[in-house]
Homo-oligomer: A and B are copies of this chain.
Amino acid sequence: MPKSIKSSKAVEDRFLDAAARLFRVKGFAATTVREIARAARMLPGSLHYRYPTKDGLLLALMKRGVETDLAGIRAAIRGVRDPVERLRLALRARLRYLLGRDAAQVVLFEWRALKGPARQEMVRLRDGYEAFWSGLLHEAAGTGRFHPEIDLRLLRFLMFGAINGAALWYRPEGPRTPDEISDAFWGLIAYGVLDEAHRPDDVASALRTLSALETRADGGAVD
């Protein structure tokens, strides 16, 4: 029954899309299932038929979000060899996805709403995602073109903080495309703010940070 499978998938997507938009705009807790159903042009009972609980809907949304995100990034760097360039392109894909899909922002801000097993599954998902980025960073650093003193884990947090933060201020009608913003961030991170003429003699020591890695309370360290 290609018809029924197709329509079933389409119905689920309608629910997930509607939920993603509302969760992004109003937040998970402030969004009612009735609003989601109405936005999907269905009735509350029908939503419950597919997703028995509101938490389950959020989890399904987040899963789809992470998968789509990773797929987009992998496609963006496919065939590119230079690890530093791969990092730049990955950042581009990430920001493009973050600003283009509602689900991505939901993943960022609403994971506190999940409890118990659903939360654990989300943590697992996120750890996998972070591990992927750790890999990209290690490969880029492995070229020898990075200052050797740089703490890659803090660098990852810096990059992600900047990129994710864009979800809070970006407006589609603004003057820059996501790609331009991403490249600008990358430029700042790669080359620094200070003119070369005004740098201290020993940049290395300024970049040096503690080497011990903290251990994460909710799972092992990725980096």
Q: Judge whether A188 is part of the interface by a CB distance below 8 angstroms.
A: yes
Chain B residues closer than 8 Å to A165, beta-carbon distance? 157-158, 160-162, 164-165
* Interface range for A: 35 or more
Q: Judge whether A175 is part of the interface by a CB distance below 8 angstroms.
A: yes
Which of A175, A192, A203: most chain B Cβ within 10 A? Answer: A192
Is the CB–CB distance between A193 and B147 below 8 Å? yes
Interface residues of A, dominant DSSP: helix
Give the Cβ gap from A15 to chain B, nearest Cβ, in Å: 21
Q: Judge whether A151 is part of the interface by a CB distance below 8 angstroms.
A: yes
Is the CB–CB distance between B190 and A150 below 8 Å? no
Q: Which residue of B lies closest to A154 (CB)?
A: B184
Is the CB–CB distance between A206 and B190 below 8 Å? yes
Is the CB–CB distance between B27 and A113 below 8 Å? yes
